[in-house]
Every structure is written in C-alpha cells, then in structure tokens.
Amino acid sequence: MHFDTLALRATHQPDPTTGAVAPSIHLSTTFARNETNELPANFIYTRPNNPTRESLEKAIAMIEGGAVGMAFGSGQAAAMTLFQALRPGDHVLLSTDAYYGTPALLEQVFHPWGLTYTRVDMSDLDAVQSSIHEHTRVVWCETPSNPMLTITDLLTVSRLAHEVGAICVCDNTWATPVLQRPLDLNCDVVMHSTTKYFSGHSDVLGGALVFKHDNDFTKRVRLLQGLSGAVPSPFDCWLVSRGIKTLGVRVRAQSLTAQAVADFLDGHPAVEKVHYPGLADHPDRALIQQQMNGPGAMLSIQIKGDADDALAFMGKLTLFTRATSLGGVESLIEHRASVEGPTSTTPKNLLRISIGLEHAEDLIADLAQALR
C-alpha cells in the first residue's frame, strides 16, 4: 500500500456503535468494571493506556512499519523514556550534529545517573565503528540532522550497532515516514517529535517511539511509559491522529517548495552556503537518493557576513515567521545559535528555515527582497 492510503487506513475507522466517521475523543481517566469485576476492554486507567492514545500508537506503528508504537507528551519525553530503559554503565553513541535537546538530556540527566556517551560524526563510518564498544547499547542517529542537514547511512550504522548487540535508534522527525522509513533500513527504533510534521499545525506538543520488534526492551519501555507517565492527553493524541491524515500531501508539497527555495538561494551572491539534501552538490547525494524518497522541507543557509548580517536579513522578511520549531503549515525562520545559547557550535551566520505551505513564488520573492 502507498503511504497516503496506509495513513488514512491507520487513522480512519468509523465507530461501529455510533457510525461516527470522525473518531471520538475518550477523555475518561478511568474505566468501569462489570458485576464480576471484569473490564469490557483492556483499559483500566489513562496513564498506562487510553483508547484515543492506543489508536494513535497503532497508527504511528503502521505508518513506520513497526510492531509497537508508543506516544509521549513530547519528543523529549520519548527520548527520556528510552534512555531510562538503559542501565548505569551503558554507553550511547550520538552524532555531533543533532537536535540540541538530545545531548542535553544525556549530559544533564543521564550522565549524572551513570550513562556514558560519545559524540561522533555519523557520516564518518570509520569513526562510528571505532567509537562503538562492548558497553554500547544505543546508537542514536538523526538524519537529516539538525541544523547542518548531514546524512547518516542507516543501513551501515545499524549493522555496526548490531555487531556489538546495540540497538540503532533513528530520530526521524525531519524526514517523516513519507520520505524515509528507518525500520526498513534495519534500525530497531524510530523516534519522533510529533510536535512537528505529524501534528503539522504548530498547536500540539507530542512524541513517539516505534519499535520494530515487541521484545524485552520494548516491554521495558512500555512499562516505563506507564510508570513515569510522560504521556499525551487524549485531546493531544486526537490532534496528532488528525495530522497524520494529511501528512503525505503536506510533506510532499512542502518538500517541493523547499527544493525551489534552495535552488533560488544556492548561488545567490549574498548567500555563502545552502545546506539542503536536494542540492546536487550535497556531499551525500548518492546516499540521499538511496535511503530517502525526497529531500524534505528543512534547510539551513549561511548568509555572507556575520551574525548581524544574518539577523538583519531575517528582520526584513515578511512571509516567514521568526520562531523556532518546524514542520507546520507556516514557514518559520530562526537564528539557530541564539536559540541554542552560549554553548552552541552552530555557525553564527546560519539561519534555519522550515518551509510551509505558502506558494513557492511568494516565498522566493520575499527572500529576494530581503537579500537585496
């Protein structure tokens, strides 16, 4: 089945009792038992499980091609719960270029608790191989990465992880299953910030994990999800499910517009560098064509000059909203180094752009006037 059909089948099930075409939201925190103390369905209490959350979890597992899906209150809560399933002394390998919250979790929360971690350039496979050792339990990939749009060879990195018995996790937030399915490339777990493309409208915070197999590790994470309770509300689950119905059309349209924008910016005399997987001179062009169905709707640009030049350009834009985050229907732009704070290693002239659903010609005209 094609992605769009799968996404609709996964999220659209008319209610057999009422005939309602749109799904109901089950706000109840608790579920009644009958005269003999039995539950009519397997729901007891909403922290461990809830019907609206279960529908979302099954849908996310279906569209990523996994056995088990779990929904969380944010992307960070999903990552946090996965790391909680490790033991003190375990080692995590993480890319040098990654969403800044992931290394922050490892450094601020899990390092004091006994996890060790190493950061490595995941596009350098020799470096990956020599950083993996007998205590490595998780190799955490993010591809395309934030904010430099580097690409990780998921098939090879998951093989290197499996050689020492580690699992390979892929943060698939930027690509989405529309453009990349890491479980088909032998990864073990997919992580999402559903705040981004899944919800798609910048109005709900959420996260997800999808596991290829329902094994002991998966069951441990499921236990921690219910015990620690970093779970989304039924209403938030409903919003994310609604977003999944249009994920395919949105991501493909946004990706096409991003390609047009990147082509315009690439080679513009006021632009030093464009980082975008759809450009012919991207260092991982062959790999991108092999493991992705399209280049995506995120790009980073380096303006000629310094931070002040980048900020001045950004200040002149009228169709791009100056805000962090990504994946919504509206185009956003941000000065990444300001968002990441004083420890940021992102180039000071770099702006990260999330392309929305506006017309490409209007976005390009706005960029052109601001670059003049």
Ligand X SMILES: *Cc1c(COP(=O)(O)O)cnc(C)c1O
Report the interface residues with ligand X, using CB under 6 A: 74-76, 99, 101, 142, 146, 171, 173-174, 193, 195-196, 205, 207
Nearest residue to 142 (alpha-carbon basis) of 79, 232, 231: 79
**3-state SS assignment for residue 275:** strand
For ligand X, the closer CB: 99 or 320? 99
Q: Which of 90, 97, 99, 250 is catalytic?
A: 99
For ligand X, the closer CB: 74 or 257? 74
Could you tell me the smallest distance in angstroms from the CB atom of residue 327 to ligand X?
Answer: 8
Residues pairing with 11 in the sheet: none
Contact 222, 49 (CB under 8 A): no
Could you tell me the smallest distance in angstroms from the CB atom of residue 340 to ligand X?
Answer: 12
Could you tell me the smallest distance in angstroms from the CB atom of residue 372 to ligand X?
Answer: 31
Can the peptide bond before residue 14 be classed as cis, meaning omega within 30 degrees of 0?
no
Tokens of 114: 């006994």
Which residue in the block uniquely carries the two structure tokens 């971690």?
117
Nearest residue to 179 (alpha-carbon basis) of 188, 166, 190: 190
Residue nearest to ligand X (CB): 75
338 CB-near residues (< 8 Å, 6+ apart): none
For ligand X, the closer CB: 51 or 73? 73
Tokens of 2: 């094609």
220 is catalytic: no
281 is catalytic: no
Round to whole Å and give the CA distance between 140 and 123: 13
Please give the torsion angle defined by the CA atoms of residues 248, 250, 255 and 261, in that order, rounded to the nearest 10 degrees. 170
196 is catalytic: yes
Q: Which of 47, 119, 252, 285 is catalytic?
A: 47
Q: Which of 137, 181, 196, 242 is catalytic?
A: 196
Catalytic sites, residue numbers: 47, 99, 171, 196
